[in-house]
Structure 1
Amino acid sequence: MNRIVFILIALAALLLAVLLFLPGLIPVAAFKGRIETQASAALGREVTIGDNLSFRIFPRTAFHVEDLVIANAEGFEGEYLARVEEADIGVKLLPLLSKSVEIDRFVLTRPDIKLIRAQDGAVNWNLASAEQAPQEESQSSESDSGQLRDLKLGDVRIEGGAARYTDAAAGTSYALEDMDLSVVLKSLSEPLEAKGSLTFQGEPAKIDMVLTSLAAVMEKKPGNLKLNLDIGEASAGADLEIATKDGLRYSGPATLDAPDLPAFAALVGTELADAPGFDNLSVKGDIDGTDTQMRLDNTSIVFDKIEAQGALALDWSGARPKASGVLSTDKLDLRPYMPPPAQSDEGFPEWSEAPMDFASLNNIDAEFDISTNEILINDLEFGESRIKLTIDQGRMTAQIPELSMYGGQGSGRLVVNARGATPSFAGNFDVGSVQAQPFTTDLMKTDNLLGLGSFKLNFTASGASQAAIMRTIDGSGGFDLADGAIKGVNIAAMVRAAGELSEGFNLAALQSAVSKARGPAEQTDFSEFLSDFSITDGLVNAPTISLNGPYLTMTGKGTVNLAEQTVNISLSPRATTTIDGEGGRAFQAPVKIGGTFSQPTIGVDAEALAKKGFQRTLENVLSKDKKGEEEEDGEESEQDPARQILEGIIGGQKKKTDEPQAGEEEASAEPSTEDALINEGLNAIFGKKKKPAEETEDDTPEN
């Protein structure tokens, strides 16, 4: 009995000795060449390992390899596909007998992987040779005697890893560094879990991934991938079904939140121009895509201040990403992408000479069909509309088949071409039933025009600033307003007041009537107000202006200098004492509109008044007693103030005497009292400003 016990103890000691010393007795280095040869044949690529190769059984079976290198494929730059500085692999022996691999320790220290896609689409990570693949597939179909039944992972880690992906066809490159990942796999049929941190394109990132199941993916069957990823300030999440049989494909719900869009775009290989807008992006929807493109349905998008729903497609296979889709939005706010409007505390602002930036159009190509309830473009507001937007290499075309603005409906087209050094513009708009007052308030910063009507405009222009565009704009257009009014002036009253000159007047009454006609509470009502115009180098020429209204009909013509913001319009109104112009009395007097956009002026045109034949009519007022004057003995009779004012208006002359007349010889050094009175009357009637040296208190309102 004692001998049996002794033998058992001796066997146990011998077994322990084998476990302790056998790894040292096995000449592992002698098998190094064979291992490299077998691995190279299996991978179809040269595999080398360092000399420090070891194996142990106790306390657990383990292999240690240093400097493991898998060579790069022929024709690709770089010495290797993958290099591992150290690898510790612990394998349980007993499961191997049942053709299962149970790894209780798998630690890769500082692995470096370099993946490359060439210009022709070839990749360097196809490890099995083309000749081996069919053979292996045939062998596996005949017998599964050598097939791996299962794989279990215990402590699996990647420490200090790095990887780089370069796509020569797309001109993109992505780098992952400082990878510290842990992996859990209880069996091939159970989920593969990976979690850890890394640096992606220089930005810190965290990843939490679950893949079910690895066995399905290895057999190129569909699997499921749940992913949560944080990169810098951006975050993404997905629950995708993936397939790899015919290339990578994925589908399922996904989200993306990029509060700093330029930074995120740079991470994924797209540099956005430093331009207005493109600040943030948030996307949520059902995704279906590949490694170069994807489509989102049931999508909710927040892009800067725009919130939209619909379908969206993205393609980043080329040098510039392309987006397309059909979207609807409650509000389409385009203000961030437009040059800011000039600001002014008083009236219409001057055109800005500041350079405008349309570099945003070079950030992305796009094709969108957008329906919206509201469009905001600087100070202009549009209602329910539809836009077909195309952006192609810096040229934007907006077809607007349905345009709602200020109560009206119409259509339009706008082109902004930023391909060259100087941007160019073209457009045409045709809208009807527009409310004139809110439209002109937003466009021209004046609320003096009321009415409902149609507007047409066709234009082309170029320039890098607002001022440059206004100097180059060419085109044509017109408007036709109905049942409205021009606030701030009663042209009919003004013409009637001037017409009263034919029957005599007193100066105070005339001055009061003209001033009152230009008062803030006055307005010129019309049933129809229309004009056509052309534009050449920023000069608007309106050869026909027509207005019809109660007590008034009017024609005219004139110009508007857009670049200089000046107005020069001559009107020929006919005012009547009856609402329809039938019967009663009629008066005519030319009216002049001038000044600037900020300070327009309107009043009776004194110069035109004299030229159009009023002189003869007014001379009748001056001829109270012509015969009596002729019988005077050489001395002028005393003239009343009205006669003096009228002589100033029509250029009438004093009765000739034997004395030299003013202007025939040297003029007087100072104006006479009579001349001063005439000037005062003209200033009062026609709204002319006095020279600075003659300024006095004047209650006459100016427009």
Structure 2
Amino acid sequence: MTFKGRLASVPALLRNASSKAKVAISTARGKADFDGKIAFAGGLSANGAVAGETSSLRALASWLGTPIAPGGGLGAAAISGRLGLENDTVAFTKAKLSLDGMNGQGQASIRLKGVRPYIKATLALDKLDLNPYLTGASAGAAQPKASNASKEGPAPQPKAKQSLTDFIDQLNEADEGSGKVQPQVRAWSQRAMDITGLRAVDADVNVTAGALYYRKIKVGKSAVTASLKSGLLTADLTRLALYSGTGTGRVTVNGARAVPGIAAQFDLQNISALPLLRDAVDFKWISGRADMTISLSGTGRSQSELVRSLQGNAKLVFSNGAIEGINIPAMVRGLKQGKFGGWKRREREKTDFSRFSGSFVVQKGIAYNKDLNLVGPLIRMTGEGNIDLGRERIDYAALPRLVASLQGQGAADDRKGIAVPVRITGPWAKPKVVPDLKRLLEDPELAKETADKVGKVLKKLKNKKDVKKLLDGLLGGGDQGAGDGTQPQGEKVNPEDVLRKLFQ
């Protein structure tokens, strides 16, 4: 370490007066310069210009005896401005600073006395990039892992009675071809989240930023007012410009307890849905404009525990967009013609809508929805189901209905069209979309609306017992043998033949 200093008047200091001073300190870990006045009356005080820089703030802090917890970021840093030191308070004014590639200016003060230091600051940053600090123990970055079909249930036995679902799945698999790469299934991190650093200081901070980055999420001009007291952080996002829309929000992080807690409320308007959902949760199925109201809270020692504990509610309204990758009207028309393959996502296919909405109640990390509603040209669709946020899986029963109207929102609700229920299940990155024919055949009224021939067949079924026999033949259920493993007498029911007769 090299230290250089010059005092203009030592006698002045001895008389408890101030003296001009210049100080320059240089080490392998950084350097600092001061040019101003100092005094020792009643303790050290200083006022003047200060500048400092380091190639690694983390290494410098460790060398000074105040190590920072392991993690990412806190590399190159620099600060310059006016320093005021009086008793137990340090103040920076007209400050310019940089840290890990971020640049800003503003003012701040630090009061050292008390249970813990107190920081008050107003900063304007060109960007606020949180990603460098999300690595290491606190990262919680989800790592992809290959899906394992064995975890989804036992493989079908070669000689077992084929169910209708198996039959349709085989058609779709044949349609996709062999050698396809299985979808990647993400896993929320099991690493412990260490937020004990929130207990180190108290703070009130106002920050404006030209951009904000969190993982893949990109936010434009933003304003944040944050308060930190006794390990409880409350951040009010009073202005968010993101994905061509706007929003506000509040995030609360409780680091005072042994198990961290997080709560978040967001109100987003006119957001571009596809890029936001893609960047936030790797969901690429919905495009258009979106209004979102979200209120969630949870606790957990890891990211995985936290997500699985979430509770709250949300309401999503999409407008003038599309369900990307599937053409539901074409699927329904194909099914009516006896085509059961082709129920898979295709990049250039889509189902246009003028409005697509749903409200959710979240309990233990599962979002439940009962009012899914889509209105679009030639189609209306309702549905209900759930989204398992922890496992990143979706399970929905939907009822798309073809209507004789090219109008979307604002058109008369035509409920006399062709309706075929579908089931949407699997990882949300690549769910399966298949016709829910079991539901169709269990509901004669619905089947009657779908096609005249379906109605004619079902009219022949005199009672529930007849319906059950048909379902047993189609769905592989209800052993009708003699109890000794033998098959019942009579003609075997071939699911493909029956279905084609129903819908041709």
Q: What is the CA RMSD across the aligned residues, in angstroms? A: 3.4
Picking from 32, 38, 46, the partner of 1:250 is 46
Picking from 595, 599, 610, the partner of 2:430 is 599
For residues 62-104 of structure 1, what are the alpha-carbon distances to aligned partners after superposition, in whole Å with 9 as ceiling and x for unaligned? Answer: xxxxxxxxxxxxxxxxxxxxxxxxxxxxxxxxxxxxxxxxxxx
Q: Which one is further off, 599-608 or 286-295?
A: 286-295
Question: What is the CA distance between 1:389 and its match in structure 2?
Answer: 1.9
| 1:341 and 2:141 correspond | yes
Partner of 1:572: 399
- After TM superposition, the structure 1 = structure 2 runs for residues 379-458 of structure 1, keeping only pairs within 5 Å, are 379-458=216-295
User: Would the aligned equivalents of 1:433 and 1:454 in 2 still touch at CA under 8 Å?
Assistant: yes
User: Would the aligned equivalents of 1:348 and 1:444 in 2 still touch at CA under 8 Å?
Assistant: no
Q: Which one is further off, 373-382 or 544-553?
A: 373-382
Question: What is the CA distance between 1:615 and its match in structure 2?
Answer: 5.4
- After TM superposition, the structure 1 = structure 2 runs for residues 154-169 of structure 1, keeping only pairs within 5 Å, are none
TM-score by length of 1: 0.57
Picking from 316, 321, 330, the partner of 2:126 is 330
| 1:663 and 2:480 correspond | yes
Q: Which SS does the other structure have where 2:187 is aligned?
A: coil
User: Would the aligned equivalents of 1:207 and 1:230 in 2 still touch at CA under 8 Å?
Assistant: yes
User: Would the aligned equivalents of 1:211 and 1:225 in 2 still touch at CA under 8 Å?
Assistant: yes
| 1:563 and 2:390 correspond | yes
Question: What is the CA distance between 1:674 and its match in structure 2?
Answer: 7.5
User: Would the aligned equivalents of 1:347 and 1:597 in 2 still touch at CA under 8 Å?
Assistant: no
Residues 348 and 305 of structure 1, relative CA distance in 2, 3 Å threshold: farther
Q: Distance in 1 between matches of 2:241 and 2:349?
A: 31
Partner of 1:301: 97
For 1:665, give the aligned amino acid: A
For 2:260, give the aligned amino acid: P
Partner of 1:162: none
For residues 268-288 of structure 1, what are the alpha-carbon distances to aligned partners after superposition, in whole Å with 9 as ceiling and x for unaligned? Answer: 564533444444532111111
User: Would the aligned equivalents of 1:273 and 1:363 in 2 still touch at CA under 8 Å?
Assistant: no
Q: Which SS does the other structure have where 1:355 is aligned?
A: coil
Q: Which structure 1 segments of 5+ residues have no match?
A: 1-204, 627-646, 655-661, 687-703
Question: What is the CA distance between 1:621 and its match in structure 2?
Answer: 5.3
Question: What is the CA distance between 1:212 and its match in structure 2?
Answer: 0.7
| 1:608 and 2:408 correspond | no
Q: Distance in 2 between matches of 1:557 and 1:475?
A: 18
| 1:678 and 2:478 correspond | no
Partner of 1:480: 317
| 1:368 and 2:200 correspond | no
TM-score by length of 2: 0.79
Residues 313 and 565 of structure 1, relative CA distance in 2, 3 Å threshold: same
For 1:526, give the aligned amino acid: F
- After TM superposition, the structure 1 = structure 2 runs for residues 130-529 of structure 1, keeping only pairs within 5 Å, are 205-231=1-27, 233-245=29-41, 247-266=43-62, 270-318=66-114, 320-338=116-134, 339-344=139-144, 346-498=183-335, 500=336, 505=337, 507=338, 510-511=339-340, 515=342, 519-529=346-356
For residues 350-385 of structure 1, what are the alpha-carbon distances to aligned partners after superposition, in whole Å with 9 as ceiling and x for unaligned? Answer: 122221222333444332100001111122221111
Q: Distance in 1 between matches of 2:193 and 2:473?
A: 59
For 1:284, give the aligned amino acid: S
Q: Distance in 2 between matches of 1:619 and 1:246?
A: 96
Q: Which SS does the other structure have where 2:69 is aligned?
A: coil
Question: What is the CA distance between 1:290 and its match in structure 2?
Answer: 2.4
For residues 597-619 of structure 1, what are the alpha-carbon distances to aligned partners after superposition, in whole Å with 9 as ceiling and x for unaligned? Answer: 24311121111111221556545
Residues 399 and 379 of structure 1, relative CA distance in 2, 3 Å threshold: same
Q: Which SS does the other structure have where 1:579 is aligned?
A: coil
User: Would the aligned equivalents of 1:452 and 1:481 in 2 still touch at CA under 8 Å?
Assistant: yes
Partner of 1:547: 374
Residues 490 and 673 of structure 1, relative CA distance in 2, 3 Å threshold: farther
Residues 434 and 672 of structure 1, relative CA distance in 2, 3 Å threshold: farther
Q: Distance in 1 between matches of 2:348 and 2:416?
A: 25
Q: Which SS does the other structure have where 1:344 is aligned?
A: strand
Higher relative contact order (CA 8 A, sep 6+): 2
Q: Distance in 1 between matches of 2:499 and 2:231?
A: 58
User: Would the aligned equivalents of 1:649 and 1:682 in 2 still touch at CA under 8 Å?
Assistant: no
Q: Distance in 1 between matches of 2:81 and 2:458?
A: 90
Residues 277 and 419 of structure 1, relative CA distance in 2, 3 Å threshold: farther
User: Would the aligned equivalents of 1:348 and 1:445 in 2 still touch at CA under 8 Å?
Assistant: no
Larger radius of gyration: 1
Residues 471 and 226 of structure 1, relative CA distance in 2, 3 Å threshold: same
Residues 623 and 216 of structure 1, relative CA distance in 2, 3 Å threshold: closer
Q: Distance in 2 between matches of 1:652 and 1:421?
A: 54
Picking from 563, 584, 587, the partner of 2:418 is 587
Q: Distance in 2 between matches of 1:398 and 1:305?
A: 23
Q: Distance in 1 between matches of 2:253 and 2:415?
A: 56
User: Would the aligned equivalents of 2:140 and 2:191 in 1 still touch at CA under 8 Å?
Assistant: no
Q: Which one is further off, 424-433 or 309-318?
A: 309-318
Q: Which SS does the other structure have where 1:352 is aligned?
A: coil
User: Would the aligned equivalents of 1:216 and 1:222 in 2 still touch at CA under 8 Å?
Assistant: yes
For 1:310, give the aligned amino acid: G
- After TM superposition, the structure 1 = structure 2 runs for residues 38-57 of structure 1, keeping only pairs within 5 Å, are none
Deviating beyond 6 angstroms after TM superposition, the runs of 4 or more aligned structure 1 residues are 581-585, 670-674, 680-683
Residues 615 and 266 of structure 1, relative CA distance in 2, 3 Å threshold: closer
For 1:206, give the aligned amino acid: T
Question: What is the CA distance between 1:587 and its match in structure 2?
Answer: 0.5
Picking from 355, 360, 373, the partner of 1:533 is 360
Question: What is the CA distance between 1:668 and its match in structure 2?
Answer: 7.4
Q: Percent identity?
A: 25
Residues 366 and 380 of structure 1, relative CA distance in 2, 3 Å threshold: same
Residues 350 and 679 of structure 1, relative CA distance in 2, 3 Å threshold: farther
Question: What is the CA distance between 1:649 and its match in structure 2?
Answer: 11
Q: Distance in 1 between matches of 2:498 and 2:124?
A: 63
Q: Distance in 1 between matches of 2:458 and 2:212?
A: 66
Partner of 1:176: none
For 1:214, give the aligned amino acid: V
Q: Distance in 2 between matches of 1:254 and 1:568?
A: 60
Q: Distance in 2 between matches of 1:671 and 1:563?
A: 45
Question: What is the CA distance between 1:437 and its match in structure 2?
Answer: 0.6
Q: Distance in 2 between matches of 1:653 and 1:315?
A: 78
Question: What is the CA distance between 1:443 and its match in structure 2?
Answer: 1.6
Q: Distance in 1 between matches of 2:7 and 2:92?
A: 22
Q: Which SS does the other structure have where 1:420 is aligned?
A: coil
For 2:355, give the aligned amino acid: E
